């Protein structure tokens, strides 16, 4: 699935990373996974990277197999493998009554409310129980903590003891190549290089068994640090250093020497990736997204523009998009949740939120677009399967030929929107 655009595609996608590896051996560098997850490291169905509630199973277990209601034994609730007994501390009766409205209304309720209804005798028959189950929302991970700072920075913390003694931090800036102006093609990638490779605070992680990298895609730029929980040589906690390094990205200094150094690295990377396989991928994605800006906003950008930008122009792009209210932080690993939350507040709260950039009319930015509803998606709109009419709309046929191609292939695409999985019936 091409996660960045919300459609299905039987092809590989491409993104570029700080190191620019062609083989995709590092997280966020080079090619994405075959069969096509764009930005594979950040779009697995994984809480640590998606920022969305996990589709955990939730099921009600009747005490001692009893299907009758109103018994003295408390109902048992099993959510995500964790069993909870007793009366849920919720407004259970009110939630159940609200959910007993006609099924055509889009009500929802937590599984605890169904347990409360069974325990108090408000659910009297299997039909009512079935109707209510159809309204159950999927629970969030019981150990995950979600929050948002006053400046708009959203965060998710998930303690996870395996592997022991390590954690990861990912900072997702919801701006990628699709957010670039006509004159900025490749600037999201340039910002990635300068912001992280030029960070003095990132250098503090060197020699601590830590790994750092970053990646740029159509819809976002992601920076990450994988570190031991404590510095091996001194036992000093590493989480403050990792968060400092990621916060430094939001306040990057665009020194002329660093901009020129990264410009050379990017031009070298652009030359390396310009293989026939990459050109074919560009053609496939250009054909697939013929109706929107994804076809002309590939992360690597345009060489002639990369050569011409001043450091002030790159800094202006950074100022427009690197806003706390346009970013999401993920912390997962062998950490203490409370301590991590305090550190996040301490490290990122001073950043000031800003309004998003306004695109001039000549940019032909379609409004509304996917990003208006979900900032994790690119600012584009799609022609879904069934929106074009045979005999009325011109057929979309794209042919690409090149002397270096030694084989023939045909691709038929049908764009289908990704359906959200938020309730138990969705998950089933």
337 neighbors 157 (Cβ within 8 angstroms): yes
pLDDT value at residue 97: 54
Comparing CA positions, the residue from 54, 47, 103, 109 lying closest to residue 82 is: 54
Based on the residue annotation, tell me whether 251 is a catalytic residue of this protein: no
- Asked if 11 and 284 count as a contact pair (C-beta separation under 8 A), the reply is yes
pLDDT of residue 428: 84
- What per-residue confidence (pLDDT) applies to 426? 87
- The model's pTM is 0.73
3-state secondary structure of 290: coil
Asked if 98 and 107 count as a contact pair (C-beta separation under 8 A), the reply is yes
Q: Across the strands, what pairs with 83?
A: 78
Integer Rg of the chain from CA: 25
Per-residue pLDDT of the chain (428 residues; tens, 9 = 90+): 223 333 333 333 333 344 333 233 333 333 332 233 333 333 333 333 233 333 322 222 222 233 333 333 333 333 333 344 434 334 444 554 554 443 334 467 788 888 888 888 888 888 888 888 888 888 889 999 999 999 999 999 999 999 999 999 999 999 999 999 999 999 999 999 999 998 999 999 999 999 999 999 999 999 999 999 999 999 999 999 999 999 999 999 999 999 999 999 999 999 999 999 999 999 999 999 999 999 999 999 999 999 999 999 999 999 999 999 999 999 999 999 999 999 999 999 999 999 999 999 988 888 889 999 899 999 999 999 888 888 888 888 999 999 999 889 999 999 998 888 888 888 88
Where are the alpha helices (H) located in 228-366, listed in sequence order?
A: 239-250, 256-273, 276-288, 303-306, 311-321, 337-348
Question: What's the pLDDT at 88?
Answer: 38
Q: How far apart are CA 201 and CA 243, in angstroms?
A: 9
Q: Which of 172, 192, 269, 281 is catalytic?
A: 192
- CA angle (28 as vertex; 339, 324 as ends), nearest 5: 45
Which of 112, 168, 180, 262 is the catalytic position? 262
Collapsing DSSP to helix, strand or coil, 334 comes out as coil
The values of phi and psi at residue 320, to 5°, are -75, -35
Query: Residue 192 catalytic?
Result: yes
**What is the pLDDT, as a whole number, of residue 84?**
40
Adjacent-strand bridge partners of 329: 155, 171
At 227 the pLDDT is: 97
Alpha-carbon distances, residue 93 vs 76, 88, 109, 424 (angstroms)? 17, 11, 11, 20
pLDDT at 94: 53
Query: Measuring CA to CA, how many Å separate 163 from each of 41, 123, 226, 333?
Result: 18, 44, 11, 8
Instruction: Find out whether the peptide bond into 163 is cis, omega within 30 degrees of 0.
Output: yes
């Amino acid at each position: 699935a091409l996660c960045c655009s919300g459609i299905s595609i039987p092809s590989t996608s491409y993104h570029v990373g700080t190191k620019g590896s062609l083989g995709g051996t590092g997280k966020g560098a080079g090619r994405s996974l075959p069969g096509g997850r764009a930005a594979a490291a950040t779009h697995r169905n994984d809480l640590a990277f998606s920022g969305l509630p996990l589709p955990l199973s939730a099921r009600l277990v009747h005490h001692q197999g009893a299907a009758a209601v109103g018994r003295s034994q408390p109902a048992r609730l099993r959510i995500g493998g964790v069993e909870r007994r007793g009366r849920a501390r919720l407004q259970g009766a009110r939630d159940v009554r609200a959910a007993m409205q006609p099924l055509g209304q889009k009500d929802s309720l937590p599984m605890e409310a169904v347990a409360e209804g069974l325990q108090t005798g408000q659910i009297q028959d299997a039909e009512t129980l079935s109707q209510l189950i159809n309204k159950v929302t999927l629970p969030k991970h019981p150990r995950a903590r979600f929050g948002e700072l006053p400046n708009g920075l959203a965060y998710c913390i998930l303690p996870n003891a395996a592997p022991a003694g390590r954690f990861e931090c990912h900072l997702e800036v919801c701006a990628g190549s699709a957010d670039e102006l006509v004159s900025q093609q490749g600037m999201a990638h340039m910002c990635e290089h300068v912001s992280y490779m030029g960070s003095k605070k990132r250098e503090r992680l060197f020699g601590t068994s830590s790994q750092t990298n970053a990646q740029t895609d159509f819809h976002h730029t992601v920076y990450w640090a994988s570190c031991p929980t404590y510095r091996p040589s001194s036992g000093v906690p590493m989480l403050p250093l990792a968060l400092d390094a990621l916060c430094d990205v939001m306040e990057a200094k665009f020194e002329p020497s660093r901009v020129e150094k990264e410009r050379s690295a990017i031009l070298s990377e652009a030359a390396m990736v310009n293989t026939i396989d990459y050109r074919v991928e560009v053609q496939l994605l250009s054909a697939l997204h013929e109706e929107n800006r994804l076809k002309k906003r590939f992360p690597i950008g345009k060489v002639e523009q990369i050569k011409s930008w001043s450091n002030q122009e790159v800094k202006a792009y950074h100022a427009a998009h690197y806003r706390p209210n346009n970013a999401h932080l993920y912390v997962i690993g062998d950490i203490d949740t409370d301590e991590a939350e305090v550190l996040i507040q301490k490290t990122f709260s001073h950043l000031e939120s800003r309004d998003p950039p306004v695109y001039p009319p000549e940019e032909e930015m379609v409004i509304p677009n996917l990003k208006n509803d979900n900032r994790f998606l690119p600012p584009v709109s799609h022609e879904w399967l069934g929106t074009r009419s045979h005999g009325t709309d011109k057929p979309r046929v794209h042919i690409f030929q090149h002397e270096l191609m030694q084989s023939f292939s045909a691709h038929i695409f049908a764009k289908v929107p990704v359906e959200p999985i938020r309730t138990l019936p969705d998950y089933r």
